[in-house]
Chain A
């Protein structure tokens, strides 16, 4: 929609230009959220598209995703064969409420900075132990884990004038086995719970809970736990008050689904054939 209060577009060409940030400014990446809601407080849009940030870089240390990399670019990315977590990328892209047309505009950084509980790029990055690289106004950098970056629904650790530059996905995370579960109130709706389990070569298990909680939660285990241990860990790790409450799912149901999907992931890793209901309709993975 037209953002009628916006009076100017600022087009920075280099990092120094970003320091001219003023109250009433918003970083404009894909624009798919900014232009989807009235923004009466905004006066200027700072267009990040001319900064020349590469969408991604594959290095020996892992994958660096530029904040302005579009979902479509990420989805098309071909990753080295040893990075067996690669299918998670497509699964998380498909978990976005927006269609492939939105993928052509929406960015990975934008999805993370919007900090919706259901933001699937948060799920992806959190599950793969990614680090956010923030540019601070003094010209320095700040790094923090994605799980710490997202503080709550539409709340991040970004200070005014700070900007998310890129997301570092370490190679160790990309080499883990993964299991993905998502559910929403309608077949292709916004996620009510999105859980990802990862298992490293040594057998260590990490469960990442997103969408059902107001911010991502992670639980690590040296080995694949048994059902009771996992259940207890979730009960301990996620207080009832942390479950998100909005029209995309009541908190008690999100909690219920969190336990259910976590156990499905655990069972899958345990090598039990996935027959007890984790194959949904339409090829989607739902409970």
Chain B
């Protein structure tokens, strides 16, 4: 058939059941994204004869004779009179920087460009078919409204410091035009496709897999089962030290431990053939008993998730009190019992945080091949290219030099890509077949077979004197790590750390347990355990304040650590966390003042109850025990700078920040620096873009490299022109010396001058976030509307306020999803029920309020150029602040997220016998 795409006729022969999106991508229109593949997210939006439609739902054969416009052709539909122009909506998204990872952006722009004036007035309705996981939609609203934020006017020349300015992301033009290349946006000759058969049982031994029928089918190239994989165990969780996580996972395991575990992989000439090949595999299972509840898993006779008898000959796993215990943390300082005895009021409550999914719009996946010298190359959607390279080398007994892992632009992460979930199987297939292989997971696989936040049950007991002084805090935490122990220990430790460290209290105790169950594995998730414990502790402190008749801000001020106080969570062991700066006091003031300035709430009727609440959180700016980065910066031929960093860009904005840092030191403009990133060939090592380290660790390496290069350039200039290096000054066009200007091109004429900078992630500082909400709660239906939202953040010196604001807004939005809507529901058979965005509701435009973002004015003496991390932490105080506002509105304390109307209406309406009345748990003394 013939269809017209962007004004050009194309001949195509669509398959009968093919959707238009895959056809367009086969034709090379990679700007048409696959986010959900089910019509929910809108990332694949195109115009068909001028009407916006979701191309994943459009049968390809129906495009015959019709005109398709994709993001690549949008600009040409608008005649500006200038060549190479963008469509006005693309310009608007650039000016507002209405994107972060940018994966949703082509679809968002295609939709926005089709809106009439009336629709633009009601974006909550008009954009309900477009999901963005990164931005929280404010920047998108600004784009549609034509509000500009990025400094794109006059070029910034030295001596104007580029740091502290709203410079746009270098990838922006590529993102808005559809030219940015994400993981799967490339054509590979002779590419094979992989599909994976997943377990229908929560716990079973695979008795046999009959692949005969599959191998006889057309197009099948290879089948892999547990008989074909390295007999080694690893963890999907990636850490600098691979032994941080239990080595309990195999590429394919003869024992399946959750519904959705990988059972076999089929490689074929097409996705369709591979899918049919999976369906034809005959697997015989010996089904075993399963346990889904973490507390049940820790009882004496619980079914074992990792039974030692399945691993004959292996080293014994670490000795734990129970075989289903994946990790634990215990500690006490002072005398907690004595502390509670001194309290005038004690609050004790159990707070439950549910399982939520990262829901980054680009699913997990990888494309692998052998390069021209025979090395294994894996192009992956990962936050940790170097650690994944190391893991693959170790797993397949290859020297690290024989493996290259590289990222395209990564479509969101949120911690979900601090795992090796696909690269191992792709590597296996490439090594076995010698041919390029791609595995792009589906949205459904993302829900049933990727990782989630650790569900947690936190019992918190906290006591205070009448004046609000805390006398003791005790936490008993049980987390559900699912079938595998990736991040089990890290999350339980981190979750029990800063949440206590921020409070000055002489008596603290923690008992934390991470339990294996036969459920989809938990993993790294924005906040890394803190969002769950902060929900508990900040809710409990709100109850204490109420019980004591104290203002919640006053209670915090009385108890938070001040510079000079030791930061102690549950042990007195020395650590490397310091007060590089301290802005918590400012954050508390900013939010309290914001509340004071609010006009009275406007609610539609007396049925809506108003309420206000706040909560706070502290986070260490870097993960403990070493986080390494290397940056290489070179002055190259012609006088351009090339910066290579290991850390990945997935919407976190670190590329912009690195450019600003390097430009600041080199006295140039960020757009003069070409940045290469997330490639194991680019630098020696990088621990990865996790733990909020893109600015504070990788940025520090960039700062060090740029400083060294600046020094080298001053020496080089002085050597040519005379004078002392200290008298030379770098500028955008060259180095000014006492003997006159020497151009950068002249300095580089003798060959590139390169310097390497490194950072080791120690010492570490602390960052702070304080969240405030005003809500309306409907007294009969249980609906919650957020009327006003504020977050104050202490990010040190903010290198790019526009981007940092976006990180905070996005964190608040994602946390609102976790607090109000999202729940990965698992049924009594261990199956994930929520496998689409229709059933797993992530915040859409209508769900997210505008959040006022306020920055503390601090300058960190540890972070690069005064900066601190600010990417995970905005998430952490949100659920508690909402719970506290709902408590204020309704008089009811809710102990479990999400606060969905159907879960809370009874207690609010007073219909429930088990209504949680205020202070029901509190013990006045």
Partner of B16, one of A9, A32, A35: A9
Does B780 contact A6, Cβ atoms closer than 8 Å?
A: no
> In the assembled complex, which residues on chain A have CB atoms less than 8 Å from the CB atom of B839?
246-248
Q: Is A279 an interface residue (CB 8 A)?
A: yes
Contact, CB under 8 Å: A101 / B821: no
Contact B42 A277 (CB under 8 A): no
**A37 to B: closest C-beta gap in Å:** 7
Task: Pick the residue among A97, A101, A260, A278 that contacts B45 (CB under 8 A).
Answer: A101
Identity of the chain A residue whose Cβ is nearest the Cβ of B839 in the assembled complex: A247
Chain A residues positioned under 8 Å from B57 (CB to CB): 30-32, 35-36, 102, 105
Q: Is the CB of A101 within 8 A of B19?
A: no
User: Does B923 touch A at the CB level, under 8 Å?
Assistant: no
Q: How far is the CB of B319 from chain A (nearest CB, A)?
A: 41
- Point out the residues of chain A lying under 8 angstroms from B59, CB to CB: 9, 28, 31, 35, 45, 47
- A37-B38, A286-B781 as given contacts; A247 in contact with B834, CB under 8 Å: yes
In the complex, A8 has a CB within 8 A of chain B? yes
Residues of A within 8 A of B56 (CB): 1, 35-36
Q: Are A101 and B22 in contact (CB under 8 A)?
A: no
B806 touches A (CB below 8 Å) = no
Residue of B58, B279, B785, B900 touching A185 (CB-CB under 8 A) = B900
Chain B, 648-676, CB within 8 A of any chain A CB: none
A253 vs B906: C-alpha distance when bound (angstroms): 8
Chain B residues closer than 8 Å to A282, beta-carbon distance = 122, 124, 846
CB B144 to nearest CB in A, in angstroms, measures 15
Which residues from B are CB-within-8-Å of A9?
A: 16, 59, 61
Compute how far the CA of A97 lies from the CA of B271 in the bound complex, rounded to whole angstroms.
30
* Residues of B with C-beta under 8 A to A47: 59, 61-62
* Other-chain residue from B18, B58, B276 in contact with A105 (beta carbon distance below 8 A): B58
If A4-B276, A275-B605 touch, whether A102 touches B119 (CB-CB below 8 Å) is no
Asked if residues B53 and A287 are in contact (CB atoms below 8 Å), the reply is no
CB pair A1 B37 closer than 8 Å: yes
- When chains A and B are docked, how far (Å) is the Cα of A279 from the Cα of B778? 11
Contact of A100 among B124, B126, B782, B901 (CB under 8 A): B126
Q: 1/0 per position for B693-733, CB-CB distance to A under 8 A?
A: 00000000000000000000000000000000000000000
- Flag if B39 contacts A36 (CB, 8 Å): yes
Nearest-CB residue, chain B, relative to A9: B16
Among A31, A42, A183, A187, point to the contact of B847 (Cβ < 8 A): A187
| Known A-B contacts A99-B129, A101-B129, A277-B607; A187 and B124 likewise in contact (beta carbons under 8 Å) | yes
Say yes or no: B444 contacts A97, CB within 8 Å: no
Contacting residues of chain B (745-804) with chain A, CB-CB under 8 angstroms:
776, 778, 780-783, 785
Kindly state the interface size class of chain A when it binds its partner: 35 or more
Report the bound CA distance from A45 to B17 in whole Å: 8
Q: How far in angstroms is the closest Cβ of chain B from A26? A: 10
A165 within 8 A of B: no
| A101, B902: Cβ atoms closer than 8 Å | no
Interface readout for A170-204 with B: 1 if CB under 8 Å, 0 if not?
00000000000001011111101000000000000
Residue of A nearest to B842 (CB): A186
A248 to B275, CA, bound (A): 31
CB distance from A9 to the nearest CB of B (A): 5
**Pairwise interchain contact B62-A4, C-beta atoms closer than 8 A:** no
Residues from chain A with Cβ under 8 Å of B51 in the complex: 104
Evaluate whether A279 and B604 lie within 8 angstroms (CB atoms) in the complex, with A6-B17, A104-B53 already known. Answer: yes
Interface residue ranges, A against B (CB under 8 Å): 1-9, 28, 30-32, 35-40, 42, 44-45, 47, 49, 94, 97-102, 104-105, 183, 185-190, 192, 246-250, 252-254, 256-257, 260, 275-282, 286-287
Across the A-B interface, the 5 shortest Cβ-Cβ residue pairs? A99-B129, A6-B17, A277-B607, A3-B17, A253-B902
Between A and B, 13 residue pairs with Cβ closer than 8 Å are: A1-B56, A4-B17, A6-B15, A7-B17, A99-B42, A99-B127, A100-B126, A105-B53, A105-B57, A189-B841, A192-B901, A247-B823, A256-B906
Instruction: Taking A101-B54, A282-B124 as given, write out 20 further A-B residue pairs in contact, using a Cβ cutoff of 8 Å, ordered by the A residue number.
Output: A3-B19, A4-B275, A4-B276, A8-B16, A32-B39, A36-B57, A47-B61, A97-B838, A100-B119, A100-B129, A186-B847, A246-B839, A247-B823, A247-B840, A250-B903, A279-B605, A280-B604, A281-B785, A287-B778, A287-B783
